[in-house]
Structure formats: structure tokens, C-alpha cells
Structure 1
Amino acid sequence: MTHRQRRFAATARTLFTILTTSGVLAGAALAGAAPAGAVPDARRLSSGVTYRQFDVPAAKGTVHAHLLTVDLMDPHVRVDLLSPGAVAARSRVSTMADAAGAVAGVNGDFFNISETQHPGVEATGASVGPAIAHGRVLKSAVPTAQRFGPALPPGTDTTDVFGVGADHRARLDRLALIGTVRTPAGNLALRGLNQYALAQDSVGAYTSIWGSASRRRATCGSDTDRAAGCSTDTYEVEVRDGRVVATSTTPGSGAIAAGTTVLLGREAGADRLRELTKGERVRVWERMQASTSRIPFRFAVGGYPVLRDGEPLAGLNNTASAVRTAVGYANGGHELLLLALDGATAYRNGMTIAEVASEMRALGAADAFSLDGGGSTTMVARAEGAKTVSVVNHPTDSPERAVANGIGVFWKP
């Protein structure tokens, strides 16, 4: 170990002691207690990653905020999706961060958390919007009417994403699925990829990334009403090595083998799949197309924009307050800002989405994006030298809620 490395390690150990003894990294241990008062100085978690907490006045009372600032120009730093290992699965942010080796992170997209409107149907836990991890597309967006979460601001939909491109710059964009199922009888449009809900009359594809959850939920709801009943006109086709190997009249469940694609159709989509027989050649092709950027995303997560070019979006809700999580960027996309509000009793009134947009602008963000909030809002951080992350805010759920995905901050020496 060089002198410089020994000096850095010593500094990190000192920092960890300061953070843990002051309560900054001891949110979980202080269950139910309010966090410490405002911390004026940022605490360095690693080069390029700092954390601080502070109070913010809001319409329904003071809230306590936790902020991670990430320098994407630091060659040791990267940001990626935290995942439980499957699209249709959930895990705690702290668990996902530790499993991936992240130094910090927050919860991600809204997700299919319950199915009270469809008795007997399993909630999949899958996220609403598109998801990309390590440059690999995991899923596309559900129809906007099938979204879980608060009402979207005007002009936004489920294809909106926040992400970081191959150029290491953060950006907002939209990601739409472009796909085709090529069959001997002609081509079918592919309108879903590992989604918990499919558009009416459509065909969707499911791969090993989906997980083992039942695919029945994908045939429930309509293009205008998430609570609409489940379709009884469905059909599945299993494709392996470019050929149909099995068919079924009902949506299946269980793990999908690597190299296998399950095509699920409802209504008119089911009719088209019924034309296929075992042994026929079928090729499934898909990609995600960005609305504005030509640079591929290395990481992307769903939610919705609240700030563009330094201005709050028109029509943001300014009456409903809640605990929130948001992400934004400054310095031309080279600086990342991750914000999580505290859910301790003293601060639980939270902020409106309009207030979140204003606060992100005050913090210097040019564009900002709302992630899942309420009981999902969680921020974790790990001081250099520690083996695991700690929850730095107080989530309203206890124990920490399992969520669909998150944003992880990574540091490599």
C-alpha cells in the first residue's frame, strides 16, 4: 500500500467514525427518532460522492432532507440501476446496494405493489417504466393508464426516464419499445417486454429477466382503466432456439429458461399467436428507442419529470404533500443530485411535487425527476471502510420497504 493509499484509508476510517457516532449513518439504529439537526458541511463518502442533510421549509411544516451529490466526471464513480435480480421481484434498497457493492443509493421507480382490484391475481412487484442496467434493457413501460402512483403531470407518461448515457452524462428522455415477432405468416408488432401490464389486443415478450411471477397480471386492466377485469381471451407461445416449442391458453408462471422467450397475447394479440404451431420458426426482435438522445443509456429508470431547463413543469401538484425521492442533474449532466426526504414523525408531512421541483432547482439542478415516494423513500450510504451501507433517512415504513429497483452510486479505486 502506498503512502497516499494509507493516508486515504486513515481518512476514511476517521470519516466513518464521525458519521456513525454523529448519527449521520445510523438512521436504522435510531428507529423512530428524529435525525440530527442541519449538517452545514458535506461529508465525503468517497472521491466524487458527498452526503449532507438539512432542513427545508415547506407548506405543511419543516421537512428534513438528505442529499447525495455525485461527480460523474470522477473516473472512479459510476451510477447504475439497483435490481433485486428479476423484474418481477422486490428487495430493500440496503440489500440491493450491499449485494451490488454500492457506496450509496436511493429507491427507484413506482411499481405494481398491490392487486386489491383483481382478487386472486398476484402483484408482481415489477416497476412501471423502462429499466436499463449495465447497458442491458430489462423491460419497457406499461401503458400509462395501468400505472401505479400519483397522477402524472400534464404532458408526461410512463415512457419518461432518467438515466446516464455511455458518455457518463445524466439526462431525461423517453424510451419506447420498437419490436417485431417475425413468423411464417407475417410480422406481429411487439408491444411489451417484461411488463406487468399489456395494452389491449397486443403481444408482449417475457424472458428469463422477468422472474418467476405469474404473467396473468399482464392481461388485466384496460387501456383506460387499471381496475378493469382480466381478459379471458389469452394465449401463450414459448419460443426456444428460434422455434415454437410449447403453447398454452392461459398465462403461465415460474422461471423462464435462459434463451427462451414467452410470447403472451390478449384479445386480437391472442388470435395472432393461435396461428402459430409447434416447430414453426419465430424470431423476436426488439430495441428501446430514445426520443431525443442518440447516445445509448448505460442506466435508466422510470418515474416522471418535474423540472426541465431550470423551470418546473406546468401543472405540478401543489396541494398533496408526502415524503418524496427525486433525482436531478447539474453542470451539463456531469453532476448528479439524489434527494430523499425524511419520514420521521416530526417531518412526515413532506412536500408537494411543486415544492420538490423548486427545491431541486434551488440545489442547482437543471432537470429533475420524481421517483417513488411515501413508504418507498429510502437513502443509504456507506463510509469508506465499512462493510455495509446504512439507511440515513427514516423511512415511513418499518422495517424498510422492499421496492422494485433503485439508483446505486458506485466507487471503484
Structure 2
Amino acid sequence: MTRHGSRLRTALTVLIAWGALVAPGLAGSPAAAGTSAAPRYGPVMRVASGVTYREFSVAGSQGTARGHLLTVDLRDRRVSLDLLHPGAVGARAPLSRLADARGAVGGVNGDFFNISETQHPGVEPTFAAVGPAVAAGRVWKAAVPDGQRFGPALPPGTTTEDVLGMGADRRVRLGRLALRGTVTTRLGRLRLRGLNQYALPVGGVGAFTPAWGSVSRVRAVCGTDTDRAAPCSTDTHEVTVLRGRVARTAGAPGSGPVARDTVVLVGREAGAQALRALRIGDRIGVRYGLATGAPVPYRFAVGGFPVLRNGVPLDGLDDRTAAIRSAAGADAAGRLVQLLALDGTVEHRPGLTIAELARLMRVLGSENAINLDGGGSSTLALREPGASGVTVRNHPSGGVERLIPEGIGVFALG
């Protein structure tokens, strides 16, 4: 638990319960994974100690797909993973720039994100990711309500809180990170329903920290828990808490950077009513964390929806709509990680269905895997030995790198 500021009393506690994993099965066996043909692989390139790259092609239902694969061996202590981001939750940049800024040897794009606000004219888009994120062991953001997400339909039994991450034990597994937080006031305690996210639950109160950046917070009160395009709420209130006391109040969410030792609370409907009762100078305690119930801290986590669990594709995966896709997965031990992006050139643009992606990840060696943002966001980059920076290895379907809010970075010492 980490204190955010000397008197703000903001706890940053990240907990995850690692799910039980089955023993390794027939990884690499097309018949076992349900595919009709094995991938055809190109030569292996050693990127760094414990990191390799290769291209491959595989037959899909709508044509041949070309893929790009980074394999990361976490048994090598010189290798690690972490979240790539541009320094603010609501900002974005090309994957190659994010990787070079952190000195990563490779990476792939991350979660789906709030790419536009055409449904809310005049509202500034935030470009924040859908799901939770942990960077360098610290809470970065929480998940928006399921009905506010961007991307393909969630498989049954999954939520926006699902993640793939690496724990302090250097093992990568699926998990689920739920926000747990409170706002303590002279009138009692309020449940915290949001953290650095572009959409708050109806009736909720959300917290925005300096990690949010300077983008407007208005989008957080737009839509509903079941309809992303619903109108923005007109019943809102904002409270700025500086070093544990109410410093300012406003009738609507604002914009601009959140200062150090400051948390901005935004409420809508019932949450707004509770915040209106606060007065300048009131003492406020804000505590939050992401938890699943077991005291194993995440060092890194990224959102995305599971497609493969314990070597078995999830029920209800779309087997009709093919697209360019990205994915991340790990073997049963959580030590061998696969990062994948498909090629977006014209001849390969049909891509794969999500069901085909799940089977492919199994063939490539994953026991557990998530689907990441796809289409024009699908990007995989690496730094060749001796090079000063990374190069993009796949061809993004838009012709150029898309600006993204986060990615998965691979770091190596040798």
C-alpha cells in the first residue's frame, strides 16, 4: 500500500488471485487446437537475450493471414515486461515512440480504447483504454462499465476488468482487477466507482489523479452503463482535493492537468448529490486499489478480453468476422510469453476471426491468452541487434502507425 501525497491518504494496493493452471498439453499441435493447418514459419531472429522474433503465415476461413510473433522467455532474469504509455492515461502516441522512449527492445499494442466521440458532439475524446492497467507496480487506471467499452462483443462470462499481467513472481497469467476504493468525508463514506477512466457508472463518483493528464473530464459523465451513445448527464459535480482537503468545487467536470498531491473527484447523479454536500476546507480521505482477493502484487497488467483459458478457447467466440488482430498469451507456467500482431497489407487484410485467433495462440504455445485492440491499432515493433531504435515489423492496416494510449513493452539487458 502506497501513500499518494503526504496527507492525501491514497492507498495504491494492487492484488491479484492467480487462477489455477492445467499442466502443459499438446501445445503446437494443430489437431489438438482445432486448426485445419499448421502455421508456416520464417526464420527466427534473436532480438535480445530471452527474446526472439519470427514471421509466419496461417490459413484462415477467409484467406491466408500473415503474423508477427515476439516470444519472451521470462526464465531469463534479464528480460521483463511492463506497460508502455505516453505519460498520461488520456494521451496517445505511436507504439514505436512509446517503445523508444522507454528503451524497450520490442512491444505490441495494448487494450481497446476510446477512439472517438462522434456520438457526443462537442465532447473532447480522451483516448483512454477500456480496461484496468498497472505500470511498474503502480495503479494506472480502472475499467469502464461493460456497456461503455469499444471493440467486439465480450465473450460470455468476461468483463472489462479482465487482464493479462506479470506478477512479482515474474509469471504471466490471466486475472481480473476490480476497483476497490472509498471517499471518506465528514458526512460518511462514499464508494469510489472510477479511477482515471473515460466513463463512470451512473450515480457514481470517480477519482482522477495526476496520471490522467490534462484532457477534459467531461466524457466521464456521458453515456450509461448499458449505452455508450446515451446523452451526457446534466446532473454533475466536481471537487478538487488538495493535500487531503477540499480546495475547489464546480458544477461540471473540468479540464487541465491534475496537480501533484491532488485528486479530482467527479460525480454524476447520486454521486454528484453527495459531492455537493462538501464544503471548501473539508477534510477528505481518498483510498483506492485494484484487487481480486489474493495478496500477490501485479508488476504489470493490461486490459483485453480472454480468448484462451487453460488451453481451451472460450465459449461464444466470434467465428464469422475476420479482422486484423493483436493478442498476448503465455504458457501454462506463465514463463514463456507470446506477443502477436497480424499483418494489414491488402493481400492479408481479411485476417482471422476471434475463434481462429484463440486456436492460433494455442498452436503458438499459449495456454492463456487475451485479444488486444485490432484493425489499425495492431502494431508489433522490435529493435534489431545494434539498432538505435525499434522498427515496426507488421504493416498496420491504416498504412501508418495509429496513435495508441498503451502497449506491452519488452525489456532486456542483453
Question: What is the TM-score of this pair, normalised by structure 2?
Answer: 0.90
Aligned to 2:90, which of 88, 91, 96? 88
Task: Describe the superposition over 1:207-231 as per-residue Cα deviations: whole angstroms up to 9, x where unpaired.
Answer: 1100111000000001111110000
Q: CA deviation at 1:41?
A: 2.8
Alignment-mate amino acid for residue 321 of structure 2: A
> 1:385, CA displacement in angstroms?
1.4
Instruction: Kindly provide the amino acid, as one letter, of the partner of residue 52 in structure 2.
Output: T
Answer yes or no: is the 8 Å Cα contact 2:165–2:173 preserved in 1. Answer: yes
SS at match of 1:41: coil
Counterparts in 2 of 1:42-121, with a 5 A limit? 42-121=44-123
5+ residue gaps, structure 1, are 1-36
Instruction: Specify the code of the residue in structure 2 equivalent to 1:372.
Output: D
1:163 aligns with 2:165: yes
Q: Tell me whether 1:133 sits opposite 2:135 in the alignment.
A: yes
**Corresponding residue for 2:413?**
412
**Runs of at least 4 residues of structure 1 off by over 4 A?**
none
% of aligned pairs identical?
59
C-alpha distance in structure 2 between counterparts of 1:303 and 1:294, whole Å? 22
> C-alpha deviations, 1:226-282, integer Å up to 9, x for none?
110000110000001110000000110011101100000000000000010000100
Name 1:388's counterpart in structure 2: 389
1:374 equivalent in structure 2: 375
1:213 aligns with 2:215: yes
Distance 2:225 2:290 in 1: 21
Q: Distance in 1 between matches of 2:259 and 2:413?
A: 33
DSSP-derived class of the 1:298 partner: strand
- Matched to 1:162, the amino acid is L
2:63 match: secondary structure: coil
* Alignment-derived partner of residue 280 in structure 2: 278
Distance in 1 (CA, whole Å) between partners of 2:392 and 2:382 is 7
Aligned counterpart, 1:22 = none
Q: For 2:147, what is the secondary structure of its paired residue? A: helix
Name the aligned partner's letter for residue 269 of structure 2: E
CA distance in 1, matches of 2:153, 2:80: 32
CA contact (8 A) 2:245 2:281 kept: yes
Q: Distance in 2 between matches of 1:189 and 1:125?
A: 26
Q: Give the residue type in structure 1 aligned to 2:110.
A: G
Residue type at the aligned position of 1:173: G
Partner SS for 1:121: coil
Residue 268 of structure 1 aligns with which residue? Answer: 270
Instruction: Determine the C-alpha separation between the residues in 1 that align with 2:233 and 2:120.
Output: 11
The whole-number CA distance in structure 1 between the counterparts of 2:67 and 2:42 is 12
Equivalent positions of 1:177-256 (< 5 A) are: 177-256=179-258
SS at structure 2 position matched to 1:272: helix
Tell me by how many angstroms 1:39 deviates: 4.8
SS at match of 2:212: coil
Task: Give the Cα separation in 2 of the matches to 1:261 and 1:50.
Answer: 42
| Matched AA of 1:226 | R
Q: How much is the aligned-residue C-alpha RMSD, in angstroms?
A: 1.1
Letter in 2 for 1:334: R
Q: Is the 8 A contact 2:51 2:73 kept in 1?
A: yes
Aligned to 2:399: 398
Matching residue's letter, 2:139: V
For 2:123 and 2:195, locate their aligned partners in 1 and report how far apart those are by CA, in whole Å: 20
The corresponding residue for 1:336 is: 337
**Structure 2: distance between partners of 1:300 and 1:290:** 13
Instruction: State whether residues 49 and 413 of structure 2, in contact with CA within 8 Å, keep that contact through their aligned partners in structure 1.
Output: no
Q: Structure 2: any 5+ residue segments left out of the alignment?
A: 1-38
CA distance in 1 between counterparts of 2:97 and 2:43 reads: 28
Report the Cα distance in structure 1 between the residues aligned to 2:406 and 2:355, rounded to whole angstroms. Answer: 24
Equivalent residue runs for 1:274-353 within 5 Å: 274-290=276-292, 293-353=294-354
What residue in structure 2 maps to residue 15 of structure 1? none
SS in 2 for 1:62: strand
Q: Is the 8 A contact 2:310 2:332 kept in 1?
A: no
Q: Please give the alpha-carbon distance, in whole angstroms, between the structure 2 residues aligned to 1:219 and 1:326.
A: 31
